[in-house]
A and B are shown apart, each in its own frame.
Chain A
Amino acid sequence: LAKTTQPISMDSYEGQEVNITCSHNNIATNDYITWYQQFPSQGPRFIIQGYKTKVTNEVASLFIPADRKSSTLSLPRVSLSDTAVYYCLVGDSPGNTPLVFGKGTRLSVIA
């Protein structure tokens, strides 16, 4: 499974757009990129998943360049409730295999 690297922590003010970048230099052709969000004392929650270019849903956008060696999770206009740990995962057959989590990025949103 491809290893991912993401910042340990980030701070942002409310209302700003937050971009969290994840590096996955060894991503395989069949690998998808998945992001999860985790609040304290809760299980991880699926945010978004993509293979290439751009994916958008009601929560976030995921940008994947052509070489797919990195990806960026974009959270528009964050609020205090977006304070959480965000995990970037890479693996094939999304959802069909056990997930491999890193340490994630701890996002703190400040008023």
Chain B
Amino acid sequence: DTGVSQDPRHKITKRGQNVTFRCDPISEHNRLYWYRQTLGQGPEFLTYFQNEAQLEKSRLLSDRFSAERPKGSFSTLEIQRTEQGDSAMYLCASNQQGGQPQHFGDGTRLSIL
């Protein structure tokens, strides 16, 4: 089963460091989404792509966050100068435009020391 794959599963870093996460969507899906989830809350939307175009960004996506999907396949989410408040689970989802449900990966859990 080639579902949505995220790497790494866990990341521990010191405050102020940069981190990058990778998401590999289901291969035939042209849409890719990033969400963030903190303890006890539901996932919150960050940004999404259709093919290589970034179509929407949430206000949650501060200037320290950047996402790319250069070839319309995998995507990366980078956080620069990490802060304590960035500690969360970062989830990636994908689907095919046209009403298909979004399929989620199991996330990258980021812990800031």
Q: Are B107 and A104 within 8 A (Cβ)?
A: no
Q: Does B95 contact A (CB under 8 A)?
A: yes
Given A43-B4, A46-B102, A96 contacting B97 (CB threshold 8 A): yes
Residues of A within 8 A of B (CB-CB), count: 20
Q: Does B85 contact A (CB under 8 A)?
A: no
Partner of A99 from the list B4, B99, B102 (CB cut-off 8 Å) is B102
Give the residues in chain A near B95, CB-CB below 8 Å: 95
Q: Are A43 and B45 within 8 A (Cβ)?
A: no
Q: Are A93 and B99 within 8 A (Cβ)?
A: yes
Quick one: closest B residue to A34, CB to CB?
B101
* Per-position 1/0 for B42-57, Cβ under 8 A of A: 1111001000000010
Q: Are B101 and A44 within 8 A (Cβ)?
A: no
Q: Are B102 and A101 within 8 A (Cβ)?
A: no
Q: Does A63 contact B (CB under 8 A)?
A: no
Give the residues in chain A near B40, CB-CB below 8 Å: 103
Partner of A44 from the list B45, B97, B104 (CB cut-off 8 Å) is B104
Q: Taking beta carbons and an 8 Å cutoff, which residues of B are in contact with A?
A: 4, 31, 33, 35, 40-45, 48, 56, 58, 91-93, 95, 97-107, 109
Listed A/B pairs (17) with beta-carbon separation below 8 Å = A41-B106, A41-B109, A42-B107, A43-B91, A43-B93, A45-B104, A46-B101, A46-B102, A94-B99, A95-B98, A96-B97, A96-B99, A99-B43, A100-B45, A101-B43, A103-B41, A103-B42
